């Protein structure tokens, strides 16, 4: 019998595109997102007891990385895109089943009129609209492995950029989004193989277009504008 799978929920997040999404869940804890269940799964009984857990596992689909076929090796951005590693030794989105796995912090459970019961989570690395196939509680006694080895990613999360965010530009961002945006920028959203200090990059976050440069270990925000689509509404 061939396996079938369907989305039980979708993520509502501040990232309308892939660019800028943290490379792993939990790197930017200030990021807040909402899990909205599909109509047939809007049953509060399915969430009974979930408030007792601080963190959740999400199994989801790399919906923007769908392609025909797959390759046994990929080029991890963390290695500059020049070294091939086995696909199952990486977290590349280009995988046989295009599945992702993320650990998020449960911020709260809310009953809404429009979407039924939703889950508010922190530290997610999912694009807006991402299909979620399953949700499971994080169980510390079984899931935590403090002595685990990280392979070629060892120490990858230690380096952070200094973010130079002029106050006149930062004030344009809603106060409750500022820490999350600064956290995203500090993790260097650029592809690892791009290092032109004069190049201006653009990141769309929460309805804002954020333009920045990176020189040495400092990221400087140079402009903030409202996303074009929102200006038209």
Element housing 119 (H / E): strand 116-122
Provide Rg for the chain, Cα atoms.
19
Instruction: Return d(Cα 121, Cα 63) in angstroms, integer.
Output: 20
Backbone angles phi, psi at 201, to 5 degrees: -100, 155
Instruction: Return d(Cα 115, Cα 7) in angstroms, integer.
Output: 15
Please give the pLDDT value at position 65.
62
Q: Distances in Å between the alpha carbon of 198 and those of 77, 82, 136, 190?
A: 21, 23, 44, 13
**Percentages (nearest 5) of helix, strand, coil residues in the chain:** 20, 30, 50
Pairing of strands 131-137, 55-61: antiparallel
- The residues, any chain, with a CB within 8 Å of residue 149's CB and separated by 6 or more, are none
CB 99 within 8 A of CB 5: no
Q: What tokens appear for 56 in the block?
A: 């959740």
Q: What is the mean pLDDT of each run of 10 residues along the chain (233 residues)?
A: 86 95 94 98 97 98 76 82 88 89 98 97 97 97 93 76 97 96 95 84 96 96 81 43
Please give the pLDDT value at position 155.
66
Tell the residue number behind the tokens 């993520």, with chain if given. 11
Backbone angles phi, psi at 186, to 5 degrees: -65, -25
- Range list for CATH 2.40.30.70 in the chain: 9-143
Instruction: Return d(Cα 115, Cα 91) in angstroms, integer.
Output: 31
Q: pTM for the full model?
A: 0.91
- Range list for CATH 3.30.2310.20 in the chain: 159-232
Closest CA to 11 of 33, 32, 31: 33
Domain 9-143 annotated CATH 1.20.120.1200: no
Domain 159-232 annotated CATH 3.30.2310.20: yes
**Size (the chain), residues:** 233
């Amino acid at each position: 019998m061939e396996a079938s799978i369907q989305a039980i929920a979708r993520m509502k997040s501040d990232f309308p595109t892939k660019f800028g999404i943290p490379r792993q869940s939990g790197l930017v804890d200030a990021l807040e997102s909402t899990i909205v269940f599909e109509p047939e799964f809007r049953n509060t009984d399915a969430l009974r007891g979930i408030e007792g857990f601080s963190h959740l596992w999400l199994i989801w689909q790399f919906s923007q990385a769908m392609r025909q076929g797959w390759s046994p090796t990929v080029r991890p951005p963390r290695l500059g895109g020049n070294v091939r590693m086995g696909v199952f030794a990486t977290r590349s989105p280009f995988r046989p089943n295009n599945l992702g796995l993320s650990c998020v912090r449960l911020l709260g459970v809310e009953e809404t009129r429009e979407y039924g019961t939703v889950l508010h989570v922190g530290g997610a690395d999912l694009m807006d609209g991402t299909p979620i196939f399953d949700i499971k509680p994080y169980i510390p006694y079984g899931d935590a492995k403090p002595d685990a080895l990280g392979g070629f990613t060892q120490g990858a999360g230690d380096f952070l950029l200094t973010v130079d965010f002029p106050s006149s530009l930062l004030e344009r961002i809603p106060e409750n989004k500022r820490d999350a945006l600064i956290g995203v920028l500090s993790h260097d959203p650029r592809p690892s193989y791009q290092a032109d200090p004069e190049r201006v990059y653009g990141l769309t976050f929460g309805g804002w277009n954020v333009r920045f440069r990176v020189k040495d270990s400092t990221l400087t925000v140079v402009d903030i504008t409202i996303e074009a689509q929102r200006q038209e509404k």
